[in-house]
Structure 1
Amino acid sequence: MTKLLAARYRAANDRPYLAAALFAMTVVVCRDVPTMGVDRHWRCYVSPLFVAETPVAELAAVWVHEAAHLLRDHHGRAMRLPAEQQRDRYRVNVAQDCEINDDLLADGLPLPAGRLEPRLFGLPDGQLFEAYVGALPSEVGAPDCGSGAHGRPAPWEHDGPGGPARLGPVEADALRRHTAEAMRAHQRGRGSLPAGWRRWAEQVLEPAVDWRRVLRGAVREAVAWAGGAVDYTYRRPSRRTSAMRGVVLPSLRRPLPRAAVVVDTSGSMGDDELAAAMAEITGVLREVGVGGNRVSVLACDADVQAVSRVVAAEQVTLSGGGGTDMRVGIAAALGVRERPDVVIVLTDGLTPWPQEAPSSCRVVAALIGSGAPAAPGWAQTVRIPV
């Protein structure tokens, strides 16, 4: 234990921006773990035999490696992988080790022999594990770093609410932000950081934007633009008619806009995100007086699957699951007899778009997922993180 804690102290002393994360991890002595591993509760399981055989400098590097799994939220990100990739925990673990170890080696850390890094598989450095996992050979294996890495409990972990001290998700998020701020301060003091750590810190410290507020604002602005058009009508004569003998003057009329919502129902879309976005859109349209038969919803993948009139998100029929082509949905929305003034497209962005903006129509592109490709410049874009 003295040797293990001395290695942690060395890691924290050499890289003080990681100190809070390193000392937040609870040490659990475990003879069943092959080397060292972590669970999602920030408990670090350590093999006494591994500690006895490993020099302090290498142990310090392994401490940093395990802390990196937790700081980078590898377990949370692993749970967002496609199901077929999630099932292969060892393949995911190898990809995660590749994401971490290229940074640690660039930082001069002496990792133990047998370390995994991208170049061993002919892959470039500097990528996220999500990019590595699909490019790895079909048969790969590695020591199990635990649920703090791949997200699935290992046999040697303490399960359930009892056991050694654990860190909750709220405290873990606060610790990640504290570490990212410490990294930024380190850089301001002219210290150096590997590219992967710099990228991670920037993502953590990026100002959070309430996508619901942005989406509401975009829909309101588009509806207000469409509702600003005026026309003359004789259904209600102008009040000035009484002053004009024998002449009936028309009055000005402000039309109530129509809206169409094109929903991407291809296989890559998640039901939870679609439901949340649809609830926001229908709520805003109802607040501004656009509802009932003035709102159309088109479910679209590579073709339009369903068209309906809705007054609530629960009435939307989502069908499809094939490829993606929102051009078809937008064209169908604009081709109806009662052409909409506002078209709102809910998509993951993996679609072709019309080359030009529709005439006399506002388009709001709600892109679901932080990695969604950009929409055309003529569309008002709102990003909805997954």
Structure 2
Amino acid sequence: MTKLLAARYRAASDRPYLAAALYSLTVVPSTDVPTMGVDRYWRCYVSPAFVDATPVPELAGVWVHEAAHLLRDHHGRADRLPAAAQRDWHRVNVAQDCEINDDLLADGLHLPEGRVEPRLFGLPEGGFFEAYLDLLPPHVRTPDCGSGAHGRPAPWELSDSGGPARLGDVEAQALRRQTAEAMRAHLRGRGTLPGGWQRWAEEVLEPTVDWRQALSGAVREAAAWAGGAVDYTYRRPSRRTPALRGVVLPSLRRPLPRVAVVIDTSGSMGDAELAAALGEVTGVLREVGIRGNRVTVLACDADVQAVSRVTATEQITLGGGGGTDMRVGIEAALAAPERPNIVVVLTDGLTPWPAENLPCRVIAALIGSSAPQPPGWVETVRIPT
């Protein structure tokens, strides 16, 4: 324990902006943990054999490594991964270690042999673990850093409510902000920080809304709103019909919404941004059960260039490149024999809009932070380029 705490003191003394986070970790000795690991409650599990065999400078680096998992909210971000990625928690842990270790090594910290870093897999430094995840080779492994990293409880972790002191979500978020402010003060004092830490501190102190979450939430809410409407149908008679001889009662049905996606294909739109936004829209629709012939895609500049019923983004036909008037695409969508309940417009905003509210939900996914604001009745999500 003396050696372990000496390593923490060294890490906190050399990097005082991390001191609050380091001293918020509660030590839990464990012979089951391979090296060191953390749970999401800021409890640090430590192998006595690992401490005995590791020099103090390297132990100081491991202290900072484990604190970085929690400061960067790796378990919270892992919880937002697709289910298939969450199940491959070994791979998630390796990707997270790649995100952390390049910053630590650039900061002059010592880490034990066998550490992973992006260059070992031919990956660029300075990336997020979500970007590394799909680029890693299969079956990669690293010492288990615990549920504070990949989100999956390890066998050697204590129960949620048992054991020594633990930090809740509110305290953890306050600690992240305190650490980010300490980093900003360090930079103002002409200190230096690796790029990854600077980016993290800026995000904590001046957070930006994740456009994917915002767009997903808007589409889901609109689908739930449209799907909440009910109508009567005689295709499936009511269960009360047998009680009334000679009378057939209709049952209530909850219709599945129809969606039109109007894509701005004018010359000012970039293919990469369009593909990213369209992929998010179709992914959300697929998750809520709306696909196939219930989704119509209209490519539009100053006129409607192509209309497609699609089941995958690869089937979409884009055309155009001229002026911009999304009113034409919206009008064409509403004039279809099967009127949509939801219209999603992917555009840079340099377009006129309908003069009045429409008889459906309209969501504008605006490409670029400088896109002009549409009318107030249009739900808006901004997608940075």
Q: Would you say same fold, with TM above 0.5?
A: yes
Contact 2:369 2:382 in 1 (8 A): no
Q: Which residue matches 2:204?
A: 204
Which residue identity does 1:299 align to in structure 2? V
Q: Which residue matches 1:7?
A: 7
Q: Which residue matches 2:322?
A: none
Which residue identity does 2:55 align to in structure 1? P
Q: Which residue matches 1:261?
A: none
Alignment of 1:72-221 (within 5 A): 72-206=72-206
Length-normalised TM-score, structure 1: 0.65
Aligned counterpart in structure 1 of residue 351 of structure 2, from 349, 352, 357: 357
Q: Which residue matches 1:232?
A: none
Whole-Å separation in 2 of the counterparts to 1:118 and 1:143: 16
The alpha carbon displacement at 1:164 in A equals 1.7
Any idea what SS the aligned residue of 1:153 has?
Answer: coil
Contact 1:85 1:92 in 2 (8 A): yes
Q: Could you say what the CA RMSD is over the residues aligned between the two structures, in angstroms? A: 3.8
Any idea what SS the aligned residue of 2:110 has?
Answer: coil
- Provide closer, same or farther for how the CA distance between residues 375 and 344 of structure 1 changes in structure 2, counting only shifts above 3 A: farther
Give the number of equivalent residue pairs.
289
Q: Which residue matches 2:268?
A: none
Contact 1:357 1:379 in 2 (8 A): no
The alpha carbon displacement at 1:277 in A equals 6.6
Alignment of 1:184-263 (within 5 A): 184-206=184-206
Contact 1:76 1:151 in 2 (8 A): yes
Whole-Å separation in 1 of the counterparts to 2:147 and 2:292: 31
Q: Which residue matches 1:319?
A: 290
Alignment partner of 1:334 is 2:331: yes
The alpha carbon displacement at 1:184 in A equals 0.3
Which residue identity does 1:319 align to in structure 2? I
- Provide closer, same or farther for how the CA distance between residues 206 and 52 of structure 1 changes in structure 2, counting only shifts above 3 A: same
Contact 2:349 2:373 in 1 (8 A): no
Alignment of 1:3-42 (within 5 A): 3-42=3-42
The alpha carbon displacement at 1:152 in A equals 0.5
- Provide closer, same or farther for how the CA distance between residues 360 and 182 of structure 1 changes in structure 2, counting only shifts above 3 A: same
- Provide closer, same or farther for how the CA distance between residues 87 and 382 of structure 1 changes in structure 2, counting only shifts above 3 A: same
Length-normalised TM-score, structure 2: 0.66
Whole-Å separation in 2 of the counterparts to 1:84 and 1:148: 19
- Provide closer, same or farther for how the CA distance between residues 181 and 83 of structure 1 changes in structure 2, counting only shifts above 3 A: same
- Provide closer, same or farther for how the CA distance between residues 379 and 190 of structure 1 changes in structure 2, counting only shifts above 3 A: same
Identity of aligned residues (%): 63
Any idea what SS the aligned residue of 2:163 has?
Answer: coil
Whole-Å separation in 1 of the counterparts to 2:65 and 2:81: 22
The alpha carbon displacement at 1:320 in A equals 2.0
The alpha carbon displacement at 1:324 in A equals 9.0
Contact 1:298 1:333 in 2 (8 A): no
The alpha carbon displacement at 1:138 in A equals 1.4
The alpha carbon displacement at 1:160 in A equals 2.9
Alignment of 1:357-376 (within 5 A): 357-358=351-352, 360-361=354-355, 366-367=364-365, 374=368
The alpha carbon displacement at 1:84 in A equals 1.1
Q: Deviations over 1:188-215 (max 9, x none)?
A: 0000000000000000000678x9xxxx
Which residue identity does 1:125 align to in structure 2? E
The alpha carbon displacement at 1:377 in A equals 3.0
